[in-house]
Amino acid sequence: MNHRNQYVLMTAAYNEGANIGGVIESVLSQSVLPAKWIIVSDGSTDNTDEIVAGYEERYPWIRCVHVTRKPGRNFASKVIALQQADDQLRRERFDVIGNIDADVTLEPDYFAQLLDRMAADPQLGIASGFIYEKSSGQYVSRPLNSEDSVPHAAQLVRRACYEAIGGYAVLRYGGEDWHALISARMHGWRVKAFSDLKIFHRRPGNLARGAVRDSFRAGRMDYSLGSYPPFEVLKCLRRFPDAYFSAGVTRMCGFLWGYLRGEKRPVSKEFMNFLRAEQRERAIAFFKGSVRGSEKVPRHAAG
């Protein structure tokens, strides 16, 4: 199919001088280039602006926008920055809009493959690949990757779907990608992450000093979006083995903290009911699968 002028991209970058050149080169290497790419420097104080400006001079379809704000990483500010890009991209002609994070790289046919699969499935509203992170010197699939969880890191959204869900929501604890997936399914769209398409996450490691804080924040995010409590327990239990143990415990604490504080959720009752209905079905399917699995285990091994 003809991909020309079919998709546009946006990126929010905060102090990504060490990574932004890599993601730009990765997009430049794509077999199908975007019609427009807005990179929002979200209050950067390093050399992010200078690096992007150098590419902007050579490639007229790349544009850098600088936003001034208080320093520090902030989940809400990232989406506010993307909304700056969104405002400019709405003037363009395109069928698909995408987000790419400032710390990832992609294989050269990544976007072409996604566009082909969206063309083949008119109900596919949001699509991406799987995230790969470095372990023992090699990139491996993130343990919690799944086809139902479409990462925001390098994601394409059909324009009709994007407009139906109102774009990415500004949320205090993050989760704009999860919110978008649920909203898309509420509107009858399919969402999918493809395991054969790789997103290489370049940011070094999962910084230990922030791991506990991030897990607690993730639990508060789950509460704020209305996650079904029994499902939340199952989700946290998945994180208990090995290095994920403390992450699971801390995430559950963050989730319960929302109940203790009686925090008001930023989502509608319809959204929460839809999410919980999906999670109940998945929890039931999990337990049914566990029962069937145990029936196949020999008696001497089950004891």
DSSP codes joined into one string, 3-20 = -TT-EEEEEEESS-TTTH
| Within a domain: 297 | no
189 and 236 in a single domain? The answer is no
Strand partners, 146: 149
Domain end residue (candidates: 180, 201, 222): 201
What stretches in the chain show pLDDT beneath 50? 1, 4-5, 205-209, 242-243, 291, 293-303
| Residue 195 · residue 147 · CB < 8 Å | yes
| DSSP state letter for 149 | B
Whether residue 1 lies inside any domain: the answer is no
* CA–CA gap between residue 293 and residue 103 (Å, rounded): 40
273, 250: one domain: yes
Closest C-alpha to 101, from 71, 68, 133: 133
Closest CA relative to residue 194, chosen from 250, 130, 125: 130
For residues 11 and 96, membership in a common domain is answered with yes
Whether residues 106 and 240 share a domain: the answer is no
- Identify the H or E element spanning 297: none
Shared domain check, 167 and 50:
yes
Helix-then-strand count for the chain, H and E: 11, 9
Overall number of domains in the chain = 2
Give the per-residue pLDDT at 4: 47
Over residues 75-107, the pLDDT tens digits come to: 678 888 888 898 888 888 899 999 999 999 999
Report residue 35: phi and psi, to 5°: -70, -30
Report d(CA 215, CA 17) in Å as an integer. Answer: 26
| pLDDT for the residue 93 | 85
- Residue 131 sits in a domain of what CATH number? 3.90.550.10
Residues 165 and 268 in one domain: no
- Mark whether 19 and 103 lie in a shared domain: yes
**Residue that is last in its domain, among 201, 235, 260:** 201
Range of the domain at 225: 208-292
The pLDDT value given to residue 23? 97
Last residue of a domain, one of 159, 180, 201: 201
| Average pLDDT for the chain | 87
**Residue 131 burial (CB count, 10 A):** 22
Q: What pLDDT was estimated at residue 286? A: 76
Q: Is residue 298 part of a domain?
A: no
Alpha carbon separation from 272 to 101, 226, 228 (Å, rounded): 27, 5, 9
Per-residue tokens: 257: 């903290």
Note whether 166 and 18 are same-domain residues.
yes
Looking at residue 92, its pLDDT comes to: 85
Dist. CA 42–CA 48, nearest whole Å: 10
DSSP category for residue 263 = P
| CA 234, 237, 238, 244 torsion-angle sign | positive
The answer to whether the Cα torsion of 81, 38, 179, 284 is positive or negative is negative
Cα separation, 199 vs 250, in Å, equals 27
